[in-house]
Structures are given as structure tokens and as C-alpha cells.
Amino acid sequence: MTGGSGVIGAAICRALARTGVHVIIHAHRGQARAQVLAQDIAAEGGSASVTVFDIADDQQVALVIQGLLETGSIQILVNNAGTHQDALMAGMVLETWHTVINTNLNGFYRVTQPLLLPMIRTRWGRIINISSVAGIIGNKGQANYAAAKAGLHGASKSLALEVASRGVTVNVVAPGVIDTGMSQEVFPPERIKDVIPSGRKGQPEEVAALVTYLASDQASYITGQVISISGGLC
């Protein structure tokens, strides 16, 4: 579970742990939060561990993934790590463009590619990529972020075709406005009804429930899909 120390990532980790799987929580700057999360999961009767690496660093990711695979294949992968650096395109510097693409899109490749063959050999796997409605409908000031997420959609659909016959599914979950605390400034209560047809923000646990379903045996016939969880926003 990359990006497991954030609000949505933590909710997904907790939900997956409740299904009985061992959750490997990835963090970068949020190592302390990830350790607390792993302890909380253990206290609830689940199993979790923490791994730390910079998803934007080729060598670091490769080294850590190699170490993880020494204990066996990873059957469920949730790509959630990401970043955004918002700016209107006319004023966006090249470094800002590259940073967001490198983390959100190239990071998906760095983590996913080395896990594929071990997963394929077991003939069972679930790859779930966390995106955003910005990758579907765009968002002012987020051309870099939307481009990365739209690229993730295309990569996921292509990968789904490549591994479907091996019992591996690949899907995208695209949240809209989720109540993470940080969304309060951008979407105060008075704006919610004007922006979101359902009239409310989504909860991290709702995203986690969808991811948990896609990671289960019951979702074996769902692959190559971009599923929006946005209250009708798109």
C-alpha cells in the first residue's frame, strides 16, 4: 500500500487488514504516522508492517521492492502515493510539471513493474490504482496532476489487457471531494451543494470499502475499469 500514512491510505490499510491480509504500509515523510497505524492495526487483531522509500527515486524503490519480494510475491497492490503542486499552466515552471508527473505516474511504474511477474506466476493478483476525478474531467490549476492521473488511467487499462488471462485484475478508483480535513479550505460547506450533486463530501471509509471489494475474489470479473467515487461529480 503506497502512500499508506495519509488519511485515505490509512482507511484503506485498516479495511484491508480486517479482511485478514498482511498490509505493508509504505511511507516516505510520514514514517511516524505509518508506524502508529501499524500498531493500531495490530491492536485491532490485524497484521501490518512499514516500509519506507521515496517513490520518485529509481534505485531506492528497486532496492526495497527486491527486499520485499525475498519473502514471497505480493498479491495485492494499492498505488496511492502521490503529490500535487498546483499552478495555472501559464505560470507553471517546468520543475513543477516534472515533479508531479514523476511521482504520480512514474511512481506507479517503479512499484508495479517489478511486482508483476511474481504475481503472474501465482495466477492471482489485484492492482488498484488510486486516481482522482481530475484525471477524468480536469481541474483548473492542475494540468500536471490531471495529466498524470489520466496517464495512470491509460496505463491501467493497457496493463489490465496484458494480465487478465493470468488471473490478475487492474482497476482505478477515482475519488472526488473526500473529507480528509485538507479539503475544508477548498470546499467549505456552503460550496458543497453547488459542486457535488449528492450534497456532501465522501468519507475515506467509503473509498476504502470500494478498494477492499476490488481486492477480493468477488471482483474477479472487474478489470480495466476507472470507477469514480464522487457523489455524482462526474
Instruction: Select which of 109, 145, 213, 221 is catalytic.
Output: 145
The sign one gets for the Cα dihedral 194, 197, 199, 201 is: negative
110-123 burial: b if 16+ Cβ within 10 Å, else e: bbbebbbeebbeee
Q: Is 145 a catalytic residue?
A: yes
Measured distance CA(216)–CA(126) in Å, rounded: 8
183, 195 contact by CB (below 8 A): no
105, 152 contact by CB (below 8 A): yes
Q: How far apart are the first and last CA of the chain?
A: 26
Catalytic amino acids? 145
